[in-house]
A and B are shown apart, each in its own frame.
Chain A
């Protein structure tokens, strides 16, 4: 039932994920952070099978950190996405595959460009201008087809994101109440209040 969106704009990527933890029909928590800050310029929103999600996200987080410690320079968004995809693809054909879907938003500090990657539990990787996972994607993607602008300022990007959140709240029966929004740009990652 997780819902997550992400979109790129002029020099930034916005990533949003709902904050509910559900066990069947019960909301157990409503302040869960499902967006990991993998490096100073890389965000990862994760959703899927409870348990798998946190386990996989922490594995990725620690290995991205380890790479940076060993090599001084961290992985750029493209390379990090490739490595994460491969982890999922190898896991898919193992005895216990992770069922985790991801949105990777990064800012490449060497080319000064924002990048967004859509990754699913099969290990499918696609670079996209905007993306969504979960039931929210059926509403948000068509909305983003109409309103997304890759040259939009941060304020305009937030307004578009608001539209997505409002649409899901209006039309989805099992819609989540609260979202956490993070942005990554040249200054790094930070939480945004909307």
Chain B
């Protein structure tokens, strides 16, 4: 079994109408043994930008600390909050620094990008463990249930979803995908990012 499957866990992000959503499961395991049902993998970067780290749990914590430091340094030097596109490049180059001994994480980024006119437009992206970026207009998935997430999201997602509908779509997609994956599940957390606020909800899933 690969090191990417060692702790289990999955993350998904979706685009809606003037909003984005990012969600993950809450399981932490060691192969088939579950250790915790409250291990969060999604972290806030700014008020309108979140990042999820599915993969090896030790690197989840390490990368969270690395990006907290690097984003703080950026904010101090530039005297403004980091934008999603720039943060994505930061993620990519940070991971590529470890090209021949990588962090075993496939980050998922979701946020609202400020346009020159002052409005916000949805942005999602994902990278592989060495920082190859995948920009998407609909949804991105990563983690041990990624194949199932692709299948369910392909069937449920549609363009122009309002925040509440997007919440329902991403929740149903995640819940139904992780129920078919032995390494993900044990509840979920969903963040829906809109221009005025972030709606965070914890979901109860199958606990078996």
Binding site for B on A (CB under 8 A): 85-86, 88-89, 92-93, 118, 120, 122-128, 131, 137-138, 141
Contacts and interface: CB of A to CB of B under 8 A. Distances in A.
A184 B33 CA distance: 27
Contact of B62 (A89, A118, A141): A89
Contacts of B101: 93
Given A124-B7, A126-B28, A126-B39, A137 B33 contact: yes
B36 A118 contact: yes
A131 B61 contact: no
A138 B62 contact: no
Contacts of A124: 7, 28, 57-58, 61
Interface in B65-79: 65
A123 B33 contact: no
Contacts of A88: 58
A89 B58 contact: yes
B174 interface: no
B204 to A, nearest CB: 16
Residue in B7, B58, B62 with the greatest tally of chain A CB atoms within 10 Å: B58
Interface of B: 7, 28, 30, 33, 35-36, 38-39, 56-58, 61-62, 65, 101
Contacts, number: 39
B30 to A, nearest CB: 7
Nearest to B56: A122
Nearest to B65: A86
A131 B35 contact: yes
18 contacts: A88-B58, A89-B62, A122-B56, A122-B57, A122-B58, A123-B58, A123-B61, A123-B62, A124-B28, A124-B58, A124-B61, A126-B36, A126-B39, A128-B35, A131-B35, A137-B33, A138-B33, A141-B33
Contacts of A92: 58
A126 B35 contact: yes
Contacts of A127: 36, 38
Contacts of A141: 33
Nearest to B37: A128
Given A85-B61, A122-B56, A124-B61, 15 more contacts: A85-B58, A86-B62, A88-B58, A89-B61, A89-B62, A122-B57, A122-B58, A124-B57, A124-B58, A125-B61, A126-B39, A127-B38, A128-B35, A137-B33, A141-B33
Nearest to A120: B30
Contact of B36 (A86, A93, A123, A128): A128
Contacts of B62: 86, 89, 123
B57 A118 contact: no
In the A-B complex, the 7 residue pairs with the smallest Cβ-Cβ separation, listed nearest first, are: A123-B58, A126-B36, A124-B57, A122-B58, A124-B58, A128-B36, A89-B58
